[in-house]
Amino acid sequence: MVEPNLTSYDTACRSFSWAEAEAALGLGNKLNIAQAAVDINCERGLRDKVALRFYDGTREQAFTFGELKVLSDRFALVLVRGNVRAGDRVVLFGRSSPEFYISLLGVIKAGAVAVPIFEGYMAEALNEIIQDSGAVALVTTAALKNRVNRKASPHLKQMFVIGPLAAETPAGEANWHKVVAEATGDLEVALVDRESPFALLYTSGSTGKPKGVILPHGGLVQYYQTGRWVMDFHAEDTAWCTADLGWVTGITYGALSPWLNGVTTAVYAGGFGPEGWYGFIQRFRVTVWYTTPSAFRLLMAGGEKITKRFDFSSLRHILSVGEALNPAIIRWTRGVFGIDACDTWFMTETGAQMVANFRCLPLKPGSMGKPVPGIQVAVLNSKGQELGPLEMGQLAVKPPWPAMMRGIWKDEDKYAEYFRDAWYLSGDLVYRDREGYYWYQGRADDIIKVGERRVGPFEVESKLMEHPAILEAGVIGKADFLQGESIKAFLVLRPGHRWSPKLQEQLQAHIDGSLAEHMVPKEFEVCTSLPYTRTGKLLRRVLKAREIGLPETGADE
């Protein structure tokens, strides 16, 4: 068993400062997060170490740190010579592939701002983001380029297409591979201050209107340190973060954090499926695996029989993000992989991991864990007052911290709404136990009020999922004449199970005996699936809309 990098959580909380991380990285007054992630590793003797492994089920590729440096330098030269200036936005639109990782690095080295967009966006949403960001260049694929409406975005001067182009190439379009292969000369990497943005990430969240979150180069010290302490990266690791580059986790913990720690990152683009995912872990000897509770549930639905066909002996650390991790999932990972999955908490707006479970601390299934050393967290009531142990309130963080967003694109008022009385307000309701562990209860607008009691839906959902018949559960409050609200549960059954009055009685008795009478769902509805954001967060508001007959609008957060 590899010893954890963080051996004493309490000591780190007392003595650590972000200056230590800066010193370990050897940062100067001016920096560049892409240079720190790749080029500096080459200077430290890792030029020939594999930095990126890619597999899509058919094609397998590997790139060393030296090769990533050369290729990203070339793409940066293409941008600079194409008059892309410092601070200009460059959109990256397509499924994860080596070309997009290289482009991400090249954009940042050129001093521009990367705007990664999930390939699932259709034309209307895609072009809204292109227009809002004012992007001057775009990288996409031959299969997706027709979704781009260049006439609606006159500021979009250049489009680099991965894959074959037609014989007659429209003005302003170029083949990505051709321009990178032909780029020659030495690049002068754009060195900037810590506050300068390197990424603009759009998330629709709960409002439906995309908002652009601005992340700074200075966040690299937090990506590095949380990589050491939370991800527990060691030099020999191969890390697999299942998020694509359109999500903050894909950029930070799928690319930058591993590379800042000199670790190989593995990328799988073969689509979801137990056989493909398990085969990827076995094929590339993945040691650190970072995914979502929704992915775990889909793997659980595939049954344990298929897991017997694969070798998981390389795995030593499993982590989860995107939504709270149910205890039932932790028991499953323990049974299948012999490892407890560790929950982590952060948001696009926080930029990096803020609360997590650490290898050096006992795991409490269902808990978010404890704050990352160097991060100050509190539970606040509606008046902004700090609450004590076992009191439910809003999770708040004391700014600043290195990876914190530095603004909402073109919306200063929206940015200001996140802060009150010198605290960043997350919108998540939690409580802290007497040992300092935090427990997620739901979003502020998800809380159910049964009479005078407030009920966090996550706690009820987790208990329902402990039953062997339940794969997924979503809980909402339903209008009740006597109590204000009663609890309704939407369920997805495990394969081989059928709904019956007897099963309903079992579930109600389980909640009553484990939690409390007022937390027992009064009504159940069995579904084939539950609505989630693409990052794996349960959309309880969609369940509420379904219940009262309103349109079920989703989110792409």
The per-residue pLDDT for range 36-94, each reduced to its tens digit, is 999 999 999 999 999 999 999 999 999 999 999 999 999 999 999 999 999 999 999 99
At 329 the pLDDT is 94
What token pair was written down for 440?
A: 């997620």
Q: What mean pLDDT value characterizes the chain?
A: 93
Give 291's strand partners: 320
Measured between alpha carbons, how far is 541 from 316 in angstroms, rounded to an integer? 36
Q: Evaluate if residue 335 carries a pLDDT over 90.
A: yes
278 and 306 in contact (C-beta within 8 Å)?
A: yes
161 and 175 in contact (C-beta within 8 Å)?
A: yes
Q: Which fold has domain 447-548?
A: GMP Synthetase; Chain A, domain 3 (3.30.300)
Indicate the pTM of the whole model.
0.85
What token pair was written down for 308?
A: 């017997």
Write phi, then psi, for 410 (nearest 5 degrees): 60, 25
At 445 the pLDDT is 75
CATH number of the domain located at residue range(s) 9-432 in this protein: 3.40.50.12780
- Report residue 455 CA to chain centroid gap: 27
354 and 372 in contact (C-beta within 8 Å)?
A: yes
537 and 248 in contact (C-beta within 8 Å)?
A: no
At 298 the pLDDT is 87
What are the tens digits of pLDDT across the range 502-523? 999 999 998 888 787 888 999 9
The structural domains of the chain, with segments of one domain joined by +, span 9-432, 447-548
Cis peptide before 400 (omega within 30 of 0): yes
442 and 429 in contact (C-beta within 8 Å)?
A: yes
Q: Evaluate if residue 401 carries a pLDDT over 80.
A: yes
Q: Evaluate if residue 534 carries a pLDDT over 80.
A: no
Give the DSSP H or E segment for 168: none
Measured between alpha carbons, how far is 384 from 525 in angstroms, rounded to an integer? 37
241 and 264 in contact (C-beta within 8 Å)?
A: no
At 212 the pLDDT is 96
Measured between alpha carbons, how far is 62 from 57 in angstroms, rounded to an integer? 14
Provide mean pLDDT across the span 3-25.
96
The owner of tokens 């073969």 is 270
Of the pLDDT bands very low, low, confident and very high (cuts 50, 70, 90), residue 555 is: very low
What token pair was written down for 256?
A: 């930058």
Write phi, then psi, for 379 (nearest 5 degrees): -110, 120
Q: List alpha helices for 35-97, DSSP H.
A: 40-41, 65-81
